[in-house]
Amino acid sequence: MNSDRWQQVKEVLDAALKRSPEERVRFLDEACQNDDELRGEVETFLSSFGDAGSFLEKPAVGEVAEVIVNQEDKLTGGQSLGRYKILKQIGKGGMGEVYLSEDTRLRRQVALKVLPENIASDKERLLRFEREAYSASALNHPNILTIFEFGTENEVHFIATEYVEGETLREAINAGEMSLTDAVNIAEQTAFALSAAHAASIIHRDIKPENIMIRRDGIVKILDFGLAKLLQEKTENIDTEAATRAQVKTQVGMILGTVAYMSPEQARGKETDARTDIWSLGVLLYEMLSGKQPFSGETASDTIASTLTSEPVPLDEHNAPAELQRIVKKTLQKSAGERYQTAKDLLVDLRQLKKRLEIDAEIERTESPNEGKANTQLINATTTDKTPHAVSSAEYITSEIKQHKRGFAIGLIILLLATIGVGSWFYVNRDSSNYPNAAPIESIAVMPFVNASGNSDMEYLSDGMTESLITSLSQLPKLNVKARSSVFHYKGKEIKPNKVGQELSVQAILTGRVVQRGEQLTLSLELVDTKTENVLWSEQYNRKQTDLVSLQNEIVRDVSNKLRTKLSGSDEQRLTKNYTENTEAYQLYLKGRYQLNKRTEEDFKRGIEFFKQAIEQDPNYALAYAGLAEAYNQMGLWTTLPPSESFPKAKAAAERALQLDDTLAEAHTALAFTKFQYEWDFTGAERESQRAISLNPSYAAARELHGYQMYLANPHRFDEAIRELKTAQEIDPLSLSVGFNVILP
């Protein structure tokens, strides 16, 4: 959704929120009139917010529900609640009031979280409160608030927890700019706690500065698992009463959490998992480093819009190391599939960064300001004292150690730094240069790049770059690259590397995220091992849009290196071949492919126009002629354009492409299709399809056509045809067309 569209949606949304639910229907009829898309977008926000009026006018603490304000204290100092003596109230929240109390039996201070009467009378809220106690009490971790007891006294429901003396992270941030070391330390401890919670199948869903306490000794504590959600029931804990017990479930569309720290999926009211906590921790880390939230706005709806559509300002000006910026950026990927997949992975990166910062600090501490002066005095004393004196071997060794103590210490630190640095470098990069003996990756799926520009008009670019990369990589020897039609089955879906690996039978997947702002283009890539789900390599490219052609070649070269594929000179030349130097022609070609892949008559026509415009920009653009040939072939097969008109045009375009470049598998395949489908020249068709396969053995379209030709032209070649079709199916396992042809004979 672009900014103009969002402003239109916001105006209608804000006006709708000022009206009662009964008035909104009539208002939307008048405000949206015949714009069904506008109405749909507004109604989506309204349904996501639930009671949107109160949600947008009040801070979202806890559930999207009543926030407890201006309520008289239930308990006062000196009162008792069972064995707990109330000392004073120390806070209020959406799910209860908190009192500093004394446990008179164990003689220790505790925090009592008490459920107010207006919530205790609500059975569902009471169940949620109980769930907080039971889920959080199962977490025994130094960075998670300890739960002592859940109880009821005189119809007052409460949770007794450890009392933490210190300050909230909000107070620490408001106090002024936080040091880099402190920010990383707090993030590391928080990630440690979340890793333990997630391992216990519990997510927090409301990670924010107010829920992070920093003790006076620097220990971090996560508070309030009031929004915690059991990720899955433990199958071994069979409950015989489960059939009769009321279940508390979060309805789809209900937003839980605090707006500025919500993940995109949480803000949309969709299902959440552990990765929503990772997003929230990324927001915290960004705020600790910069003093500002990465996503904000004048109203809650503006903040949500920023979360869904905007990219945060880079942290360059805050002296954040490049590695830390990479970590923050990865936590704030709008697609959950592109973030850290587990808090443990994030924890590993934070701990390695913390070690590097500690070593840097240690080196600085060894540089004493008086050290230079002391060394000068030592030299002077040595040169002026000419009186010889005898020393024992022990005295000599002791003297040498004293004189070289500083050098030895620095040398040891440098050695340690080198060891950790090299280890970290190996861990982060993990490519062929790190593991020269590692087996190369032999199968890969390039997943549909995500268009993160917030502009649907740029969808052609993300799709086109994906398809171009597939085409280029498929020419690598001994590399099984899955075809476009199979990988685009996952477009718009959450990418789970392990599942994709199993469904497509690949060792690795490559994911990408494209952001286009004006003339600036940013592409973020990640190569992921589908078995371990470890990130093998990641990179971000920032280029001007005019550099799009060279960028595509650079990406192909980098990815092939990370796949640990050894290339000959001819392989690399073929891999990075430029079909045009004209950026505008290349973009028009990508637009043509984008329309062609929609497979409707109108889109075929649009695609043909784009291919023709690309050819006008570069008359020697062979790939554009090949695209034009494919489009005319499809028109002749599936649309109202007469075959007598479409197929000759397809043949002419294919032949022109081959005049310009005889190594184009796409053009040979298009010509084979025309000869087979229209001219019934089976011999010529087979010759062209065989040529296409020899040029690109991973081109599924050529193999499918070749197998189909063999069977129809000569039924005695049945076995050969089946082998060819099954090879096509291995390359394109999710293609309905290939699957149909495999079973057709």
Cβ neighbours, 10 Å, residue 63: 21
User: How far apart are the C-alpha atoms of 191 and 553, rounded to whole Å?
Assistant: 38
Read off the DSSP letter of residue 139: -
Using a CB cutoff of 8 Å and minimum separation of 24, what contacts does 56-62 make?
A: 56/17, 56/299, 56/300, 56/301, 59/258, 59/259, 60/255, 60/257, 60/258, 60/259, 60/300, 61/93, 61/94, 61/210, 61/258, 62/93, 62/94, 62/95, 62/206, 62/226, 62/227, 62/256
Positive or negative torsion for Cα 597, 603, 604, 608: negative
Q: Are the beta carbons of 324 and 188 closer than 8 angstroms?
A: no
- The single residue of 103, 206, 349, 463 carrying the catalytic annotation is 206
Give the list of residues 6+ apart from residue 528 with CB closer than 8 angstroms, or none.
497, 508, 509, 510, 511, 534, 535, 536
Single out the residue of 699, 671, 636 nearest to residue 467, CA to CA.
699
Does the active-site annotation cover 206? yes
Burial 321-340 (b: 16+ CB within 10 A, else e): eebbbbbbbbbbbbbbbbbb
Query: Which of 580, 512, 583, 570 has the alpha carbon at shortest distance from 544?
Result: 583
Query: Is the Cβ–Cβ distance between 625 and 615 less than 8 Å?
Result: yes
CA distances from 266 to 38, 42, 260, 276, 520 (A): 22, 17, 11, 7, 29
Q: Which residues contact 35 (CB under 8 A, 6 or more apart)?
A: none
Pairwise CA distance, residues 119 & 158, whole Å = 12
User: What value, to the nearest 5°, has the Cα angle with vertex 639 and ends 637 and 641?
Assistant: 95
User: To 10 degrees, what angle do helices 21-32 and 3-17 make?
Assistant: 140
| Nearest alpha-carbon partner for 673 in 711, 634, 714 | 634
Amino acid, res. 242: A
Please, are residues 180 and 126 in contact by the beta-carbon 8 Å criterion? no
CA dihedral (359, 362, 364, 367) positive or negative = negative
Catalytic residues: 206
